[in-house]
Structure 1
Amino acid sequence: MPELVLPTTSVRASFLEAMDEFVAEGAERSQTAAWIDHNAPGWRDPQTFAAFVEAVRADALEESPRPEWHVPCTTLWWVDGGHYLGRLAIRHRLNDFLLDVGGHIGYDVRPTRRREGHATAMLRAALPWALELGIDPALVTCDDDNVGSVRVIEAAGGELEDVRGVKRRYWVPTTR
């Protein structure tokens, strides 16, 4: 059964296959796309991949160095045994950009595993993590034309606040 876990080297082979899927799809404007831009193909080396995993995990720490426009972020991977299915990021607080466009929580599912309910399950599973970080409610955004994400967010209890440009902004309770 899939579960959210902290990034781990144990799913390296499947993670790399998933990244190849995102590249083939032409992934843009996501954390996954940024990872690919900054790390591939170097992370095919197991030691480089291990360093990448540690850096992603360290990004959750307040004291970790980061660009001034970034906030601490807990990244979780949606895995089923040794299979990487997707990733989810919980941003610990909102800056102006995140309040307008990015939100507290962002996610993506590997292309070959979409339309299987993973995004819905991932978002629901992330809400207790967000609550533990003191986030309630969580802002979750998606493109206005992304019908799949609209359904995912609304299934998690998201209430539409507004649409700003091409972004729909929802507030999702982290307590039930």
Structure 2
Amino acid sequence: MEAVPELSLPTARVQRSFRAAMAEFGGEGRGEPADFSMIGKEIRGFAERWSSPDGFAAYVDWLRAQALEDTTRPDGIVPSTTLWWVEGEDYLGRIAIRHRLTASLLEEGGHIGYDVRPSARRRGHATAMLRAALPLAHGLNIESALVTCDAGNVASRRVIEANGGILEDQRGAKLRFWLPTAPPAQRS
């Protein structure tokens, strides 16, 4: 039986393909000092540990702990649930749901951020991943999720709009969309 992509809590079972995906992102310049994305920061902070099973397991534990309210984190960083989009043992991408907005996230980052590894793009993974994450955001009491993308990122804009995103405005280089998180039957 063929594996079907699904959201998963971060897991050590995909270590091999996760590392390959991070190498793909690195080939795009992710992880460079000017990359302030979640993946960029994690490549800089954790990549040297990902090759050992214990180091990777510690990273997975750290990532899972970020969803807990009482986890110590830097000022301005809110709890966030990170889920991986996996197909069997293959890591295809990630999505992070920030539990609440700060002033900075309201301007640029939003509630939800996602990435699909370069070799898995243009296959509908981002759209499916965001669709699967919206009910989870609803479960975190996020009634309407803010999702942003670069103004020139047509693919990401299509993903957001395919999931019901309504453009509110553009602030700087970012487009800001609001997405309902409740299933249509539950919306008022």
TM-score (structure 1 length as normaliser): 0.99
How far residue 41 of structure 1 moved from its aligned partner, in angstroms, is 2.0
SS of 1:65 mapped into structure 2:
coil
- State how 1:71-150 maps to structure 2 within 5 Å: 71-150=78-157
For 1:24, the equivalent position in structure 2 comes to 27
Q: Deviations over 1:17-76 (max 9, x none)?
A: 000101111123321111101011221111010000000000000000000110000000
SS of 1:44 mapped into structure 2:
coil
Q: Deviations over 1:58-108 (max 9, x none)?
A: 000000000011000000000000000000000000000000100000000
For 2:167, the equivalent position in structure 1 comes to 160
- Percent of aligned positions with the same letter in both sequences? 60
Please list every run of at least 4 consecutive aligned residues from structure 1 whose deviation after the TM superposition is greater than 3 angstroms: none
User: Aligned Cα RMSD in Å?
Assistant: 0.6
Q: Deviations over 1:135-160 (max 9, x none)?
A: 01000000000000000000000000
Aligned residues: 176
List runs of 5+ in structure 2 lacking aligned partners: none
For 2:15, the equivalent position in structure 1 comes to 12
Pair 1:170-2:173 in alignment: no
Specify the code of the residue in structure 1 equivalent to 2:7. Answer: L
